[in-house]
Amino acid sequence: MKTGQFTREEIHSQPEAWQEALAAVEKSSKALKKLLADDYAQVVFTGCGSTYYLSLAAAALFQQMTGHLARAVPGGELWLHPQVSLIDGRTLLVAVSRSGSTTETVKAVEQFKKENHGPVVAITNDGSQPLAGLADVPLVIEKGQEQSVAQTRSFASMYVAATAMATVAANQEGLRESMRRLPEVGVKIITTYEPLAREVGEDLNLDRFYFLGSGSCYGLACEISLKMKEMTLTHSEPFHFLEFRHGPMSMVADSAMVVGLLSDSRRAHEQKVLDEMATLGGHITSLGERDTRVVFQSGLAESVRGVLYLPVLQMMAYFRSMRKGMDPDHPNHLSAVVTLKLP
């Protein structure tokens, strides 16, 4: 097996997993509608590492689409500090885990259920592991499973499921129906922009990456920044667009790449930040529906096309890792599943 072959294949094949994610939500739509119709004090999304960042993105999107209070909490914090993570009142917990066996997430869900806080939805790529069995409604996307340590296909598939679940909660059947076009658009983006991902990723004159995203895109920016750290051991940080002006912009120089996940609704403000960073000597890569370096041209509503930001940036990290002579399949010090030996 060639170095990096798993990661590359998993990035390229992810649109198939997106399709399965949509099918999983559709299959469970009646159960989800019944569960989501209840009156909750809050909805909590939880995960660890990548799936915590997924939770950040999903919670922001869920609140935006439904108007219900939603927040993201790391699995370890929900488990060890529930008094900080939960408010009084019935709570819906959405637990996200690629493996379905991450210690902190499983322990948090077990404790949550033991204390009768409310029902649980699980989003996972392995239905045979403990998390799916603990859930009132498990959403399992088997095609998202990976042999690589760093999450790419798995993250994207679970984020599609979380997005589709938000459309169920918001009673937006039309939006969920439109999401069926995502796999086709994803294939086109991957094919069209792989050369750009290679060009940027292999440029070792760049020694720092900043990923900017606001609203639900902030969690996605966090995840892509993590991919750059994990796969390439490159200095990488995520920020909200306007926050980047408040100190971090002092790091921008001609060795910096600033990547902007541009929205439609706040684009003027976001683009201005990118323009300012360009005047400071930074290199700019922008992604969005139109008039950007990476153009989606999806025709989909902004709320349901978030996954389209991921593949090109995942490939960017992959190519950088390969150019540096590293193994993106097996990042330094990491394992695919984090399990803790508890006293």
pLDDT tens digits for range 52-76: 999 999 999 999 999 999 999 999 9
How far, CA to CA in Å, does 86 sit from each of 49, 94, 121, 136? 20, 13, 16, 19
Indicate if 19 and 106 belong to the same structural domain.
yes
User: Average per-residue pLDDT in the chain?
Assistant: 95
Concatenated DSSP letters of 213-265: --TTHHHHHHHHHHHHHHHH--EEEEE-TGGGGTTGGGG-STTEEEEEE--ST
Is 38's pLDDT higher than 60?
A: yes
Would residue 242 count as lying in a domain?
Answer: yes
Question: Could you tell me if 265 and 290 are in contact, meaning their C-beta atoms sit under 8 angstroms apart?
Answer: no
Q: In which region does residue 71 sit, left (phi positive, over 0), alpha (psi from -120 to 50) or beta (all else)?
A: beta
Would residue 44 count as lying in a domain?
Answer: yes
Indicate if 168 and 310 belong to the same structural domain.
no
Q: Cα–Cα distance between 20 and 8 in angstroms, integer?
A: 20
pTM of the model: 0.96
| Range scoring the smallest mean pLDDT among 24-38, 64-78, 325-339 | 325-339
Phi, psi of 178 (to 5 degrees): -65, -25
Burial of residue 264 (CB within 10 Å: 0-12, 13-18, 19+) is exposed
Is 248's pLDDT higher than 80?
A: yes
Q: Cα–Cα distance between 227 and 249 in angstroms, integer?
A: 21
What is the count of structural domains for the chain? 2
Beta bridge partners of 239: 212
Q: Cα–Cα distance between 63 and 71 in angstroms, integer?
A: 8
Question: Could you tell me if 57 and 219 are in contact, meaning their C-beta atoms sit under 8 angstroms apart?
Answer: yes
Indicate if 129 and 232 belong to the same structural domain.
no
Indicate if 168 and 260 belong to the same structural domain.
no
pLDDT tens digits for range 256-277: 999 999 999 899 999 999 999 9
Is 335's pLDDT higher than 60?
A: no
pLDDT tens digits for range 78-129: 999 999 999 999 999 999 999 999 999 999 999 999 999 999 999 999 999 9
| CATH number, position 208 | 3.40.50.10490
Indicate if 241 and 304 belong to the same structural domain.
yes
Is 337's pLDDT higher than 80?
A: no
Taking the CA atoms of the chain, what radius of gyration do you get in angstroms? 19
Would residue 152 count as lying in a domain?
Answer: yes
Question: Could you tell me if 255 and 205 are in contact, meaning their C-beta atoms sit under 8 angstroms apart?
Answer: yes
Q: Are strands 256-261 and 91-97 parallel, antiparallel or unpaired?
A: unpaired
| 3-class DSSP state of 133 | helix
Would residue 328 count as lying in a domain?
Answer: no
Beta bridge partners of 97: 124
Indicate if 137 and 264 belong to the same structural domain.
no
Would residue 338 count as lying in a domain?
Answer: no
Would residue 343 count as lying in a domain?
Answer: no
Indicate if 174 and 246 belong to the same structural domain.
no
Percent of the chain with pLDDT over 90: 94
The tokens for 232 are 């390439």
* Domain end call among 133, 155, 179: 179
The tokens for 245 are 């002006």
Indicate if 262 and 197 belong to the same structural domain.
yes
Question: Could you tell me if 57 and 163 are in contact, meaning their C-beta atoms sit under 8 angstroms apart?
Answer: no
Indicate if 47 and 115 belong to the same structural domain.
yes
Q: Cα–Cα distance between 78 and 70 in angstroms, integer?
A: 14
| 3-class DSSP state of 195 | helix
Which residues make Cβ contacts (< 8 Å) with residue 103, sequence separation at least 6?
Answer: 338, 339, 340, 342
Which residues make Cβ contacts (< 8 Å) with residue 324, sequence separation at least 6?
Answer: 204, 232, 233
Would residue 290 count as lying in a domain?
Answer: yes
Concatenated DSSP letters of 112-130: HHHTT---EEEEES-TTSH
pLDDT at res. 9: 97
Would residue 253 count as lying in a domain?
Answer: yes
Indicate if 186 and 175 belong to the same structural domain.
no
Q: Cα–Cα distance between 141 and 161 in angstroms, integer?
A: 8
Q: Are strands 137-140 and 235-239 parallel, antiparallel or unpaired?
A: unpaired
Is 3's pLDDT higher than 90?
A: no
| Range scoring the smallest mean pLDDT among 141-145, 278-282, 337-341 | 337-341
pLDDT tens digits for range 129-184: 999 999 999 999 999 999 998 999 999 999 999 999 999 999 999 999 999 999 99
Which of 55, 54, 103, 107 has its CA nearest to residue 82? 107
pLDDT at res. 2: 84
Residue with tokens 């995520």: 238
Q: Cα–Cα distance between 223 and 234 in angstroms, integer?
A: 14
Q: Cα–Cα distance between 273 and 268 in angstroms, integer?
A: 9
Question: Could you tell me if 123 and 98 are in contact, meaning their C-beta atoms sit under 8 angstroms apart?
Answer: no
Indicate if 175 and 42 belong to the same structural domain.
yes
Indicate if 197 and 319 belong to the same structural domain.
yes
Task: State the residue range of the domain holding 205.
Answer: 182-323
